[in-house]
Every structure is written in C-alpha cells, then in structure tokens.
Amino acid sequence: MNTACRTSSGRGTGKAARAIAVMLAALFAVMQAAPAAARETVQYFSGGGKLVCPCFVAGDQIAVVFNAPASAYPIEITGVSVVWAAQFGVRGAFTERAVRLYLGTPPSLGVPAYSIDLPTLNAGTTNEFAVGPIRVDAGSFTVALELANSNAGMIFSPSVVHDGNGCHAGRNFVNSGGVWQDARAIGFTGDWEFLVSYRSLVPPALSAAPAAVSLVDVPLNTTACATVVLANSGVDTLTIRGIAGCGTVTFAIDSSMTSHRLPPGGQTTLGICATPHTVAPANCSVQVFHDRGGSPMTIPVSCRPTTSVTVVRQPTSHQFRLKGVVPNPFNPQTSVNFELPSAMTVTAEVWSVKGARVRTLVRDMAFPEGDNSIRWDGRNANGRPVSSGVYLIRIRTRAGDLVARAVLLE
C-alpha cells in the first residue's frame, strides 16, 4: 500500500475534482432513491463522496465491519455493494480477486461465509453483488474486497471510495502485507462506501383483534357487522396481498377501509358482515394473505341467528340501504342519503382511501325509520378543507355498515 495519498480528495485540476464530486453525489442519490423492496440496508458512509487516491497493491484488502439493528436479528444477508470510481471520470470494467463476507471482525475474520471470486467492478457506479442468503443470528459481520490489481501511484486507475466526512473507528479496515489495520488509525479520513442488504427473520406478527368473530342473536334477513383490527408488531413493513374466504350468501367482507401496507406498529381495519336467511348457524373463515411468515392468517367467523320470540310488527317497506351521495362529484359539500328499517342510532365517519380517519360526522345519533341524510362540508376534524380526491363515508348502525364513495373536485 502506498501511504502517500490516503486523504487525497482527487489530485489534478479543480475541474476534475468537481467532476468527481458530482459523479459521487449522483451515485449516492441513485442509491438513496432506489425503490424500497422487502429488504433493509446498512451503511456508514454519507453522501459527501471523496475518491481515495489510488494507493493499493495487489493482495491488499479493504473491509467494513457492519451491525444490523439489534431488534432485526436474526437476519439473512442477501447482497453487498461497493462503490468503485476513478479520478477524471475514467470508466471501464475491472476484475479483482474477491468480495468476501465474514461472520467475524478483523483481525480474526475466520473462514469466509460467502465468497464472490473474480468480481467485475465497473468504474463510476455502485456495484451490487447477490449473496447467499447468509444467516446471521447476532453481532458483527465484515465485507472485504481483495484486490488483484495494483493502483498505487496510478492516478487514472479506479479504486475504492470513501466519503471524506470522518472515519468511524472500528468500522473501516485495510489489510496490507497480511496485517489488518484500522483505516482511521493510519490516516484515512472517511468511511468506505460499502453497503449491505439484508432481511430480518423476525416474524412481523400480524395479529387480528378479535382473533375470531362471533355474530350472535342476529335477526333473520338483517345484516350485522364486526370490525377486526389487523396489526403489525414486527420490525419490517408488511404488505397484505389479498383477503379471501366467507364466500357464501350469508357472509360478506368489507375491505374498503383496509390499508394493504402496514409499517412496523401499523394498524388497519377489516369489516366482516353476516345476513342470516335461516335459523341455522353458519360458519366460515377469512384468510389474510401477506408477504411475511405465517401467511395466510385465518380468522374464524360464526353467525348465530336469533331464535327468540319477537313481537309481531306491522310490515315496513323500509330497508337498510344506501341511497346515494348527492352531489357526487362535489365541491364544497355533499350529503349521503340512506334508509333505515327502524329507528336507531347512527355513527358516520369520513375516511381517506389510505385508511386514515378524516372526520366523524355524527356519533351514536338517533335517526328515525325511513329516509335520512347526513351532510359533509368537505372539511377535516380540525375544520380545514381537505384536498381533492376520493373519500369513503361509512355509516355504522346495529343493522350493519354501509360505505359510500365521494369524490371531491378542485
């Protein structure tokens, strides 16, 4: 290793140095803007971007020690990335000796858990390599790049990159002549631009409350509903891919308020309804399919119609039904019209299509049998006008739930 250029920020003209900074900033921006997949990443460099002066010889190794968040373990490492660049914008593909993953730390790395022999590194880009997956139950792990080519003193040759924004002690290492040294202790001023991709093996623990739905004493030909809260108590975002089951004429699933992406600690709701047409009990199961362990989650559902003697009433022509939103689309206000088979209390709420409650219009308010209407002035719970878009107005009663869609225009 040539020790003369550990802290160089790019020798040559100011124009060349600026070109290096622009290139590395662009590389970092691309990495940050990459769409999130079902994985997490860990890195220690920032977006400063500072090219290490070529100062290595064949056989030298450059390494970074990583730790995932403690709550994420155990994990599976699925990939590693190395930023590889040259001064003056030199491009091209270069074959080095190996990229290796160790389940130890320098100087006692042990045997590689995974090796990528003769990796091709393209100058001027972030080079991504698939790994394993390799399971890590706890603690630190190390990614090392071993060079096959010397670049010491060759200002046009590509090399590894550090950010120049301060070098974390105990994170960045160099092995020259078979001896591991802390990069900070020997004068390097930034963190190597290495990155690790992994996924946590901790189950997201999708739960349902209640875990089982029991609708009892439901009058014949009357709809009763229950709201189930789905919660993600894991450390990763959980995606609900589908909801199925309870497909008989007695049952219905209302997923209009269900968010299909739950962050850690996130919750959403699912409506399950039953309308018995005979006195025989009915049962079914709802299955919630998601992208984590334990899919699908099953929610048992039962309906027990009432068998008690009821007072005979005069027949009524009124039903429990939605009669429309007028006007729709609207601006600035609209009304949701509905019909009740008898006098009862009503709760009406406005929700966004993303599953956030916007406003409660009425709560447990008594409404008479027959035609009724509730007005919404297009404002949220704080009295501020909401933005244009699609909103859901949910009518909740002992007879069941109704959901209407309303479109607010600019």
Structural domain boundaries, residue 192: 3-200
DSSP assignment letter at 387: P
Residues 189 and 75 reside in one and the same domain: yes
Query: 150-162, pLDDT tens digit by residue?
Result: 988 888 889 999 9
Residues 291 and 250 reside in one and the same domain: yes
The domain boundary, picked from 258, 280, 307, lies at: 307
Residues 132 and 76 reside in one and the same domain: yes
401 belongs to a structural domain: yes
Residue in 31, 33, 34, 57 with CA at minimum distance from that of residue 45: 31
Residues 328 and 301 reside in one and the same domain: no
Residues 195 and 209 reside in one and the same domain: no
CATH of the domain at 243: 2.60.40.10
* pLDDT, average across residues 140-147: 97
CATH of the domain at 22: 2.60.120
Structure pTM? Answer: 0.53
Sheet containing 321-326, strands listed edge to edge, beginning at the edge strand earlier in sequence: 321-326, 334-340, 370-376
Burial letters 151-174, b for 16+ CB under 10 A, else e: bbebbebbbbbbbbeebbeebbbb
Residues 174 and 286 reside in one and the same domain: no
The domain boundary, picked from 149, 171, 200, lies at: 200
* pLDDT, average across residues 161-166: 87
Query: Rounded to 10 degrees, what is the CA torsion of 211, 216, 222, 224?
Result: -30
Residues 189 and 220 reside in one and the same domain: no
Residue 113 has pLDDT above 90, yes or no: yes
* pLDDT, average across residues 56-80: 93
Query: 316-362, pLDDT tens digit by residue?
Result: 678 888 888 899 889 999 999 999 998 899 999 998 877 788 999 98
Tally of domains in the chain: 3
Residue 396 has pLDDT above 80, yes or no: yes
The domain boundary, picked from 151, 175, 200, lies at: 200
* pLDDT, average across residues 78-82: 96
Residue 385: asked if its preceding bond is cis (omega within 30°), the reply is: no
Cα distances from 330 to residues 87, 334, 375, 389, 390, in angstroms, run 59, 6, 12, 10, 11
28 belongs to a structural domain: yes
Residue 82 has pLDDT above 90, yes or no: yes
Residues 27 and 101 reside in one and the same domain: yes
**Higher-confidence position of 18 and 126:** 126
Residues 47 and 128 reside in one and the same domain: yes
Residues 55 and 171 reside in one and the same domain: yes
312 belongs to a structural domain: no
52 belongs to a structural domain: yes
397 belongs to a structural domain: yes
Residues 366 and 294 reside in one and the same domain: no
Query: 221-239, pLDDT tens digit by residue?
Result: 887 888 888 999 887 888 8
- Are 100 and 71 in contact, with CB atoms under 8 Å apart? no
Q: Which pLDDT score is estimated for 334? A: 93
CATH of the domain at 354: 2.60.40.2550
Residues 301 and 324 reside in one and the same domain: no
Residue in 273, 404, 278 with CA at minimum distance from that of residue 348: 404
